[in-house]
Amino acid sequence: MSGTVGLEAELKRATEFPNLHVVHHPLVRHKLTHLRAKETPTPYWRPLIREIALLIGYEITRKLDLRASRIETPITAMDAPVLAGLPPAIVPILRAGLGMAEGLVDLMPMAPIGHIGLYRDHATNLPVEYYVRLPEAKNRLFILVDPMLATGNSASYAVDVLNRHGIGDDNIRFMALVTAPEGMRVFNEKHASVQVWAAALDERLNEKAYIVPGLGDAGDRLFGTL
């Protein structure tokens, strides 16, 4: 079976959003299928979301700057590449972002971790802030993490929070599992220069503002509170 099965419509939708990078690696798509499946229980869901976050994180960090560092191998001295500057900061949006943040920590154990606490008011679909704690902002890339970019309101608000703390859009990346066209449009009204990475751009939102086909409530599936 071709590695592009089921991608034609998604690729067409994605052309609307030049700042959206959908990771079509076969392992990402395979793991996402199991995350979507309603019969996948929480004990299997947790490692899957961690693993897929690591794979997407690999793509987000592909262009990090390097510098030469003098080291000694068991054989000889050499100039070897290491990351230049401060490591990126990982900032999950609570609570659902915590599972994906673990995958990024596996990839970058030296990365500091911040947290932004938001919940969605189901009457208005607007975010409500209840907690913010961030690492030092100067000269650092920040990776915001939330499995769902649905309405785009929480994602846009989280970027606003970073902006308030002196972090410009050029130093922010956003990582999601699945996104919706409606949410990307809302997000890009204010933050079109923020690059977004995801495993899928799904079809649409339903009347309850859930992504279709989506994967359900990521927080409930991660924490077993269904």
Among this protein's residues, is 220 annotated catalytic? yes
Q: What backbone phi and psi angles, to 5 degrees, belong to 69? A: -130, 135
Measure the N-to-C terminal CA separation of the chain; round to a whole number of Å.
34
Determine which one of 67, 160, 220, 225 is catalytic.
220
Using CA atoms of 37, 41, 42, 46 in order, give the dihedral in degrees to the nearest 10.
Answer: -60
Determine which one of 15, 73, 76, 124 is catalytic.
124
C-alpha pair distances (Å), 135 with each of 9, 113, 139, 214 = 40, 7, 11, 32
DSSP string, 12-71: HHHTT-TTEEE---HHHHHHHHHHH-TT--HHHHHHHHHHHHHHHHHHHTTT--EEEEEE
Among this protein's residues, is 151 annotated catalytic? no
Among this protein's residues, is 124 annotated catalytic? yes
Q: How far apart are CA 176 and CA 197, in angstroms?
A: 6
**In the chain, how many H helices and how many E strands?**
7, 14
Among this protein's residues, is 170 annotated catalytic? no
Determine which one of 33, 46, 95, 217 is catalytic.
217
Determine which one of 95, 120, 140, 169 is catalytic.
120
Which positions are annotated as active-site residues?
120, 124, 217, 220
